[in-house]
Amino acid sequence: MRGGGKASGLLRLQLISLSSVLFCRIGLSTTPPPNPTENPSLQNAFVALQAWKKVITSDPKNVTGSWVGTDVCSYQGVFCSPPPDAKFGKVVSGIGLNHAQLAGVFPMELGLLTYIAIFHVNSNYFQGTIPSSFSSLTLLFELDVSNNLLAGGFPSVVLEMTSIKYLDIRFNHFEGPLPGGLFGMPLDAIFVNDNNFDGIIPSNLGDSSVSVANFANNQFQGAIPNSIGKMATTLNEILFINNKFSGCIPQPVASLNQLNVLDVGTNKLSGLLSDSIGLLKDLSILNVANNFLTGIIPSSICSLPNLTNFTCSNNYFINVSPTCLSLPSAGVIFDDIGNCIPNQPLPRLLKQCLTFLLQPLSCLLTI
């Protein structure tokens, strides 16, 4: 039985913890260790953090130099507070080791930090992946392992961590597809950008409750799912920039009436830029540059009250509304260079425009 296996594993760790504490006491500790029967949670934290220290291979800032003795609450980067269940006086409630320049891995024993709400280790050199024992971190709210050297498929243990609101695994070396289960989680933010993820975005994207989703700078392909329109009451920012998305910009995007940022730049999107995007009253940043879009750059978009940067360069647009051309004089960034618009600066070559525009209009363009 899986649950039983996990439990006995933890028990074994607790026994190890007991012996290492006794050992420590005889050896070098000057402060008396917490009584294990009074606060097993701090005992477990001690085991977890010593196991972690053991697999840290580089620590130029000597962060773990303070990780000695059993008073784990005095360790650098380790935070304690009273637990929500009031079972103990205090527990380890957070790990804050951003920019610590640590190298190593995350050991299984970190699953013993069952009271942590925050695990922030961004901008280090951690390798490997997120261990399965993280499923024991049932209070974890923010998981930020961004800007490390983590690799392998999407860390599937994340799908079992139902208390997470903020998931940040960007700037690592993760690869392969995203699981559909990701969008069934009650998350507020998903950052998976700047990895090597590929495959399609699962069609249930729209089930996600996030306000921010960043898929940028991966190798995603296929269509942006139509279900995106279901995120109308929650979504503020979504970024797809620099992937290989194809097809048209899905029409249901026009119902995302809380949207501030839409970035689909540098993909292989085709078809028209619908003037219904001009319904997105809160839209501030719109980037559709470097795609295969054509038709007219709609005035409805250029009339949006909160627009600050509308970039539509390097497409095959054939006309632009005067409303758009007057945006810069109102302090709004508007960039439409590299299109097929007569009398605009730096257009595409006439030959390129003709070849492209002679094809039938389609969402299935293969270029």
Ligand X SMILES: *[C@@H]1O[C@H](CO)[C@@H](O)[C@H](O)[C@H]1NC(C)=O
Of the candidate residues 282, 344, 356, 363, the single one contacting ligand X (CB under 6 A):
282
Q: Does 329 bind ligand X (CB under 6 A)?
A: no
The whole-angstrom separation of Cα 148 and Cα 126 is 5
Nearer to ligand X, 155 or 265 (CB): 265
Question: Does residue 98 interact with ligand X by CB under 6 A?
Answer: no
**Residue 333 or 346 with smaller CB distance to ligand X:** 333
For the CB of residue 5, give the shortest distance to ligand X in the complex, in Å. 38
Q: Which residue has the tokens 């921010």?
A: 212
Question: Scanning residues 302 to 321, which ones bind ligand X (CB under 6 A)?
Answer: 305-306, 309, 311
Q: 257 or 326: whose CB is closer to ligand X?
A: 257
Distances (CA, A) of 272 to 139, 243, 248: 46, 19, 7
Determine if 287 is a binding residue for ligand X (CB under 6 A): yes
Residues in 154-213 at the binding interface with ligand X, rule: CB under 6 A: none
- Using the rule CB under 6 A, is 101 a contact of ligand X? no
Our CB check for ligand X shows the closer of 333 and 354 to be 333
CB 269 within 8 A of CB 332: no
- CA–CA dist 61, 148 (Å, integer): 17
Judged by CB under 6 A, the chain residues 39 through 68 that form the site for ligand X are 62, 65-66
How is residue 339 written in tokens? Answer: 């299109």
As a whole number of angstroms, the distance between CA 181 and CA 193 comes to 18
d(C-alpha 126, C-alpha 57), whole Å: 10
Contact with ligand X (CB under 6 A) among 7, 11, 333, 364? 333
CB 112 within 8 A of CB 134: no
Q: How many residues bind ligand X (CB under 6 A)?
A: 13
CB of 23: closest distance to ligand X in angstroms?
A: 20
Residue 99 in the binding site for ligand X (CB under 6 A):
no
Q: Which SS3 state, helix, strand or coil, does residue 277 take?
A: helix
- Does the footprint of ligand X cover residue 339 (CB under 6 A)? no
Token pair of 216 as six digits: 């940028």
Tokens standing for residue 193: 């950008």
Please tell me whether residue 265 binds ligand X under the rule CB under 6 A: yes
In angstroms, what is the minimal distance from the CB of 51 to ligand X? 19
Which of 276/309 has CB closer to ligand X?
A: 309
Q: How many CB atoms lie within 10 A of CB 312?
A: 25
> From residue 37, how far is each of 82, 144, 223 by CA, in Å?
17, 32, 56
Distance of closest approach, residue 66 Cβ to ligand X, in angstroms? 5
Backbone angles phi, psi at 66, to 5 degrees: -85, -5
30 binds ligand X (CB under 6 A): no
User: Per rule CB under 6 A, is residue 328 in the interface with ligand X?
Assistant: no
103-104/56-58 β-pairing: antiparallel
Binding positions for ligand X, rule: CB under 6 A: 62, 65-66, 265, 281-282, 287, 289, 305-306, 309, 311, 333
